[in-house]
Amino acid sequence: MSPETQRKIEALFPRYPEKRGALLPAIYLVQAEKGYVGPQDARALAELFGLEPVDVWEVLTFYNMFYTSAQGRHHVYVCTNLPCSLRGARTLLKELESHLGIRCGQTTPDGRVTLAHEECLGSCGTAPVMRVDGEYVENLDLSEAKRVVDSLE
């Protein structure tokens, strides 16, 4: 992590009764810098926090939105919870898999797109929904989904 990120993390410490409490925001900061938090970053964080690297790794792997390896430039997350599934999300995900030539959870070889599935995005009324780089794309159908994915640089 950069000295800048480290400074930002250290600035978080006084905000929590225990240093350890700042771990989640610290992980976010590292991820914002690098796009993911790998074993080396976990070691560095552990050092900073006075924890064991496994402590950091347990927290890191607990949450879906932290990545432990490099991700694509764009994140495409398809909601596959019940209402979205009833509205065809699973077929949609399969189609996107073959369209991109990767399996759910993988990244295209050119590093352009990481495709994954996700639980309820809280937007069941506009199911099926996918989240593209943090933005919701709603009321999807297959051609719309493909168009959005293809438009990603």
Partner 1 sequence: MPTLTIDGTEYEVAEGRMILQAIDDLGLLMSGVDIPHYCWHPKLSIDGSCRMCQVEVEGMPKLQIACNTLVTDGMVVRTDVERVKKAQRGVMELLLINHPLDCPICDQAGECTLQDYAFDYGMPGARTEEPRRPAKKAMDLGPTIVFDQERCILCRRCVRFCREIPKTGELGVFARGDHSLLELFPGTELDNPYSMNVADICPVGALTTKDFRFKIRVWFLDDVESICNQCSNGCNIYASRSNNRIYRYLPRRNDSVNDTWICDHGRLSYQLIMENRLTEPRVSRRGTSYADAVRAAGDAVRAARESGGSIVGVASPFVGNEDLFVLKQLLEAVGAPAATFAVPRGESDELLVKTEKAPNASGARALGFEESDASPGAVAVALVLGHTLAEECLKGVETLILLDTENCSLAERADIVLPARSFAEKEGSFTNHAKRVQRFRPILEPTFEALSEGEILQRIGAAAGLTGWTASYDVHEVSKRLSETVAGFDGINLDSLDDQGCELA
Helix axes 3-12, 23-34, angle to 10 degrees: 160
Task: Give the CA dihedral 29, 152, 112, 115, nearest 10 degrees.
Answer: 80
From partner 1, ligand FES, none, interface partner of 84 (C-beta below 5 to 8 A by class): ligand FES
Binding to partner 1, residues 61-120 (CB under 8 A)? 61-63, 68
User: At closest approach, how far in Å is the CB of 51 from ligand FES?
Assistant: 24
Distance CA 143, CA 91 (A): 13
Question: Is residue 58 part of the contact set for partner 1 (CB under 8 A)?
Answer: yes
Distance CA 82, CA 91 (A): 13
Q: Which is nearer to partner 1, 9 or 42 (CB)?
A: 42
From ligand FES, partner 1, none, interface partner of 65 (C-beta below 5 to 8 A by class): none
Interaction site with partner 1 (CB under 8 A)? 39, 42, 52-55, 57-58, 61-63, 68
